[in-house]
Structure 1
Amino acid sequence: MATSEPHSTGSVAAQAWSPPLPEAPGFDHRVVETPGLRTHVATIGEGDPVVLLHGFPQHWWQWRAIAPVIAAAGYQAICPDLRGAGWTTADNPEIKRETRLHDLLNLFDALKIDRAHLISHDMGVITAMQLTYEHPDRVRTATQLSVPPGFMRFSPKLLPGFQHLPPFIWHRPGASLAGVFSHRYVATPISQATIESHLAPLTRPEIDAAVRPLTRGMVLPEALRIIRGTYRHRRLTVPTQIIFGRQDHPWTEETMSHVCSTPDRYADHIKFTYIANAAHFITDDAPTAIADLAVEWFNRPA
C-alpha cells in the first residue's frame, strides 16, 4: 500500500519478481514507495547519482551494459522503471503529460537526491527534458538519446520519424510490440531472447494497458508543444548532449542541422554527437560508446 511519506524497501532478490527480472549481474533491486506508486529501481555502484530513464517499450534492463561502466567510473547508476513500464505498479492507470515528471521528483526526494546527472532515451527523454526545463537545479548534466531537443523546428522531413506512433495510440490488449525492434530501428539485429527480455513486463495486464495512456496522455501533448514552438521561448540552461545513431532515420546529421540550425540561441551549452553503426535503439547497438560519451560529459570542464 502506498504511504503519504516516500520511503524504500531493502534490496529484493531478482528471482522474487514476477515475471522474473532479466539477468544483469551486479544490480541491486528494490521498491521505492511514493504516494500512489511503487517504483522498481535497479542500482549499481557508489558515488554521485546518475539517473537513467528508459525508453519504450523498455525498462531498467535497457541500461544493463551501460550502468556498470558508469558505476566503474565512480558513480551510482540509478535505473527506475517509470510509471506504466517494467515492474513498477501504480494505483491510478491515468497518465498525463507531466505525470512521470511528478513521479521522478518524488523519487528524487525519496532517494534523497538533490541533483543528478540524467541519461534518457526515447519516451524517457520527455520526462528528462521536462525536468531540465522546469527544475534545472535538480540536474547536473543531461545526455539525451535518439530524440531531438525541444527547441527544434518542425519540418515535413521529420514525418517518417513518427510513423510508429499509430499502433501505440490504438494498441490492442495483447498485441505484440516485437515489431518495434525491426531492422528499421536497429543497426545490428537483436536476438529473440533480448527482445523477449525487453518485452517481458507487457505480460502484466497493467503494463500492456499503459501503452495507450502513455502515447495519448504524455507523448502526443508533448509533441504538440514542441511542434508549436513552446521550447523556443524557453532557455535550456542544463548542459545537454544529444546523441543519435547515424542509421537513425530521419534524424540524420543533415536534417538535425536544418531543424536545429541555431542551438546557441536556445541553450547555454549543447552538443550534438552521431555514432556510427547505430540506429534508434542505440543502447543495444552501441552501449560502450554511449557509456563513454556520458562519463566524458559528466566530467566536462565547467
Structure 2
Amino acid sequence: MDTQMPEASGFEHLTVTTPGLATHVAVTGRSDGDPVVMLHGFPQHWWQWRAIAPALGERYRVYCPDMRGSGWTVAEHPGIARETCMHDLVAVLAALGLDRVRLVCHDIGAVIGMQFAYTHPDRVEAFVMLSVPPPFMSFSPKMMSGLRHLPPLVMHRPGASLAGLFDPAHVARPLPPGTVEAYLAPMQIPAIDAAVREQTRGMILPELMRISRGVYKKQRMHPPTLCVFGRLDRPWTEDLVRRLSGDLSRYADRFEFAFVDGAAHYMTDDAPEAVTDLVLEHFVGAEAAA
C-alpha cells in the first residue's frame, strides 16, 4: 500500500491554506451551483463521496474536504480538541467564500457537522447526517454495541491496521480489497496514523460525554435535518432510534429519519444511489419550505 491519492472522475483538487492547516478539498459539480459541503467518516476521506458528489453536482457545487487528521490534509500541530475540526471547517468555508451551505456528513463528519449546525444555524441551509444518532437521543445501555469500535481506537498503536473496521458488522457486503486500501492509504502517513487517538480521545469521547449528560436536550437544532441509518446497522434499529429520540419537535425545528434497505454503517459504499436520492429529496424539500 502507498499514499497515492485514489482517482475519481470529475473532481478538481484544491489546497486551502488557513492558520496551521493546509486542507485538501476535492471539488465537483456546477460552477454556478449552490454549495454543498460533504464531511467524510472515519477512517475515510474525500474519496468516500466519489459516487455521490458527482450526482449531487448535476444540481450543486460540491466541496469534499479532508478534515484534520484525515486524507491529504496537513496540520502543523497534531492536537485535536472537541471543537477543533469544527473551527477548521469555519476557517475553510471563509477561505472558500462560502457563507451558507448544505451539509452531508457521515460518522465522525456528522459530529463536526452537528457542532457547526448548532453553533452557526444561520449558515446551514439543510443538514443530512449519516450513520450517527441525533445528539439529543437519550442514552441507553442498548446503544453500547454501537460503540464497540471505540476502545481499540482509544488505544490505537502506530501502524496497527484499521481494516477491521470494515467488518461484516459495519458493511452490508464485503468491500473490494482495493476500496479498503484506498480508504486506508493515508494511514501510512505517521501524522495521520497518530491522529486516530487524537480524534477519539480529544473529540469523540468528550462529545459522547456531553450527549450522555443530555447537553443537547437543552439546545435546539434549527436547520432542517435528515438523519439516515442503514437497516443493517446494529444496534440502530428504527424502533430503538425513534424510541430513544422521543418527540423530535422538542429538540428541532424540522428533524426527520430515513432508513436505507441493504445498507449498514458504511452506507455510502453499500447503497450510494439510495443515499443520493434521500439527500436530493431533503435538499429540494428544504428549498421548497424556505
Match of 1:92 in 2: 77
Alignment of 1:93-242 (within 5 A): 93-242=78-227
- The 1-side partners of 2:7 and 2:237 are apart by 34
- The 1-side partners of 2:16 and 2:263 are apart by 34
The one-letter code matched in structure 2 to 1:183 is: P
* CA distances 1:7-60 after superposition (whole Å, capped 9, x unpaired): xxxxxxxxxxx8221110110001000000000000001210000000000000
Give the superposed CA RMSD: 0.8
| Structure 1 portions without partners, runs of 5+ | 1-17
SS at match of 2:57: helix
State yes or no: 1:26 paired with 2:10: yes
- The 2-side partners of 1:26 and 1:114 are apart by 24
* CA distances 1:70-118 after superposition (whole Å, capped 9, x unpaired): 001x101100000000000000100000000110000010000010000
SS at match of 1:231: helix
- The 1-side partners of 2:248 and 2:142 are apart by 19
State yes or no: 1:260 paired with 2:245: yes
C-alpha deviation, 1:188, in angstroms: 1.6
- The 2-side partners of 1:25 and 1:273 are apart by 29
TM-score (norm 2): 0.97
Deviating beyond 3 angstroms after TM superposition, the runs of 4 or more aligned structure 1 residues are: none
- The 2-side partners of 1:90 and 1:235 are apart by 32
- The 1-side partners of 2:29 and 2:269 are apart by 21
Match of 1:11 in 2: none
SS at match of 2:156: coil
C-alpha deviation, 1:257, in angstroms: 1.5
- The 2-side partners of 1:291 and 1:112 are apart by 25
The one-letter code matched in structure 1 to 2:41 is: G
- The 1-side partners of 2:4 and 2:13 are apart by 12
* CA distances 1:138-189 after superposition (whole Å, capped 9, x unpaired): 1100000000111100011001010100110000000000000011100021
The one-letter code matched in structure 2 to 1:122 is: D
State yes or no: 1:282 paired with 2:262: no
* CA distances 1:274-298 after superposition (whole Å, capped 9, x unpaired): 0100000010001111111111111
Aligned-pair identity in percent equals 54
* CA distances 1:247-297 after superposition (whole Å, capped 9, x unpaired): 000000011121112111111101100010000001000111111111111
SS at match of 1:30: strand
| Structure 2 portions without partners, runs of 5+ | none
Alignment of 1:38-117 (within 5 A): 38-46=22-30, 47-72=33-58, 74-117=59-102
The one-letter code matched in structure 2 to 1:273 is: A
Aligned length: 284
- The 1-side partners of 2:131 and 2:203 are apart by 18
Match of 1:37 in 2: 21
- The 1-side partners of 2:180 and 2:282 are apart by 30
TM-score (norm 1): 0.93
The one-letter code matched in structure 2 to 1:26 is: G
